[in-house]
Amino acid sequence: MMFHHPNAKWTGMQATAMGLPHVSFEATHGNELDELERVLSSLRVDGIFTGAIASEYQKERIDRIGNTLGIPTYSPLWHKDMALLNEMTNNFEIFITAVAAEGLGPELLGQPFSKMGNRPGIHPLLEGGEGETFVTDAPFFNKRIEILGWEKEWDGVRGVAKIKDARLVEK
């Protein structure tokens, strides 16, 4: 409910690309927030940044964890206008890794986010569970991630594109 899960194992590569340490943990749908709070409480953390755009559900829960632990939370994209969000997507390299809404089909899996275009009834940034993405390059990445292959699953209604292999390359 709270976090992107396809390709979570590749977030370590994203951290390396940004020059940041990486910590991962396993959780279930029932304990994901408790586990996040437990892990964060064991680390020296100066702030919690989220990519929350419009989900009150996600932002409120992350803010609650931050308040409990005395860690400030930041959601720089929160309720920003579409012009700013479009500028961000134009400066990032983003791939579609899951789709789960009518009008989003298997042809989008593993494709650059720019191929999605404007689709009626779909939030332009897939906010609300319509889909998920994976960032392979951003202005604050020291290297970019090159995806070497995808494994795609489609059940007739929704689908996932799992990264089979990837590597860090110079920009």
- Secondary structure (DSSP) of 106-143: GGGTTSBGGGT---TTS-TT-TTTTEEEEEEE-TT-SE
The string of pLDDT tens digits covering residues 122-140 is: 877 787 778 999 999 999 9
Is 54 a member of any domain?
A: yes
Is 26 a member of any domain?
A: yes
Task: Assign residue 140 the CATH number of its domain.
Answer: 3.90.1490.10
Number of domains in the chain: 1
Closest CA to 92 of 141, 53, 128, 146: 141
The string of pLDDT tens digits covering residues 63-77 is: 999 999 999 999 988
Is 56 a member of any domain?
A: yes
Of the pLDDT bands very low, low, confident and very high (cuts 50, 70, 90), residue 3 is: confident
**What is the distance between the alpha carbons of residues 78 and 8, in angstroms, rounded to a whole number?**
23
Is 3 a member of any domain?
A: no
Is residue 1's pLDDT more than 70? no
Copy the structure tokens of residue 117: 């275009």
Is residue 83's pLDDT more than 90? no
Is 77 a member of any domain?
A: yes
Cβ count within 10 A of residue 124: 15
Is 98 a member of any domain?
A: yes
Q: Which domain covers residue 162, as residue numbers? A: 8-170
Is 2 a member of any domain?
A: no
Copy the structure tokens of residue 157: 């209604």
The string of pLDDT tens digits covering residues 86-104 is: 777 789 999 999 999 888 9
State percent of the chain over pLDDT 70: 97
Copy the structure tokens of residue 151: 């494994």
Is 163 a member of any domain?
A: yes
